[in-house]
């Protein structure tokens, strides 16, 4: 409330959209900040889709900002523009809640999202890892890395960063999930929301065998 972000409006994004991009990453939090931010997100998504960009939406639902019903109604019009939708397993009912027939269960929710035009759905399952499905019928499931949990703040954002990094690197879905899980594990194993995130040359540290010399 009363933040700079809450004053966001479509004209604010015009220079960045004109500059072009390969990927537009959106979060449900921006949509929850008010009418202006929601309209800015919708216009950006439409522009990116029309210009052939990859549009990624992280549902990122926050109960303190809006209800699940409000979020569902606001996010539904975005789905026709979304290439990749990322949601935790408990966020799937939020993003599908405004459908005429509300799907029950993860499988039905993903089916509904793919039918709505989303090309890839990535489901975060916390300590159980993550799953991927696309409109062509491909399925992948990757287990989480086992690490001591110190602080879960920022784990979802780290996961998205890992997935987007793999997407930009042209990795196949299973390896994108693996990188996403890896960044999520780094995040929860350290204090703070970004302080423990790895450099590219550190991605393999969590899977190094005990006794491995690291220089």
Q: Are residues 22 and 94 in the same domain?
A: yes
Q: 15 and 93 in one domain? A: yes
The domain of 8 spans 1-124
In whole angstroms, what is the distance from residue 190 CA to residue 153 CA? 10
Instruction: Indicate if the pLDDT at residue 124 is higher than 90.
Output: yes
- Identify whether residues 11 and 88 lie together within a single domain: yes
- Residues shown for the chain: 215
Tokens 């499905």 correspond to 133
Q: Is 157 a catalytic residue?
A: yes
* pLDDT per position as a tens digit, 2-44: 899 999 999 999 999 999 999 999 999 999 999 999 999 999 9
Same domain, 42 and 119: yes
pLDDT of residue 209: 78
Of 8-22, 71-85, 194-208, the one with minimum mean pLDDT is 194-208
The residue written with tokens 């929860």 in the block is 188
Compute the distance between CA of residue 19 and CA of residue 6 in angstroms, rounded to an integer.
23
- Token pair 């929301």: residue: 193
With cut-offs at 50, 70 and 90, classify the pLDDT of residue 210.
confident
Give ∠ CA 122-206-190 in degrees, rounded to 5.
Answer: 85
- Are 71 and 11 members of one domain? yes
Domain final residue, candidates 80, 95, 124:
124
3-state helix, strand, coil in the chain (%, to 5): 45, 15, 40
Say whether both 19 and 93 belong to one domain: yes
9 with 65, same domain?
Answer: yes
Check whether 136 has a pLDDT greater than 90: yes
Q: Check: CB of residue 97 under 8 Å from CB of residue 68.
A: yes
> How distant is the alpha carbon of residue 94 from its chain centre?
14
Task: Yes or no: say if 44 and 71 are a contact pair by the CB < 8 Å rule.
Answer: no
Domain end position, chosen among 124, 153, 173: 124
What pLDDT shows up at residue 181?
96
Predicted confidence at residue 207, as pLDDT, reads 85
* Same structural domain, 75 and 109: yes
Q: Provide the domain count of the chain.
A: 2
Q: What pTM did the predictor assign?
A: 0.93
Residue among 58, 134, 157, 178 flagged as catalytic: 157
């Amino acid at each position: 409330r009363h933040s700079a972000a809450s004053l966001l409006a479509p004209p604010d994004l015009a220079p960045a959209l004109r500059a072009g991009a390969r990927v537009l990453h959106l979060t449900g939090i921006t949509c929850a900040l008010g009418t202006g931010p929601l309209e800015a997100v919708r216009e950006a998504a439409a522009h990116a889709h029309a210009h052939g960009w990859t549009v990624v939406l992280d549902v990122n639902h926050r109960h303190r900002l809006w209800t699940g019903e409000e979020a569902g109604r606001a996010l539904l019009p975005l789905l026709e523009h979304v290439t990749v939708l990322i949601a935790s397993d408990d966020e799937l009912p939020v993003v599908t809640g405004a459908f005429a027939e509300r799907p029950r269960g993860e499988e039905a929710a993903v089916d509904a999202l793919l039918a709505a035009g989303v090309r890839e759905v990535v489901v975060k399952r916390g300590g159980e890892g993550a799953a991927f499905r696309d409109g062509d019928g491909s399925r992948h499931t990757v287990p989480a890395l086992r690490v001591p949990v110190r602080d879960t703040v920022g784990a979802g954002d780290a996961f998205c960063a890992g997935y987007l990094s793999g997407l930009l690197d042209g990795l196949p879905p299973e390896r994108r999930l693996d990188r996403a899980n890896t960044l999520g594990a780094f995040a929860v194993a350290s204090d703070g929301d970004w302080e423990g995130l790895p450099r590219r040359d550190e991605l393999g540290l969590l899977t190094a065998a005990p006794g491995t010399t690291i220089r």
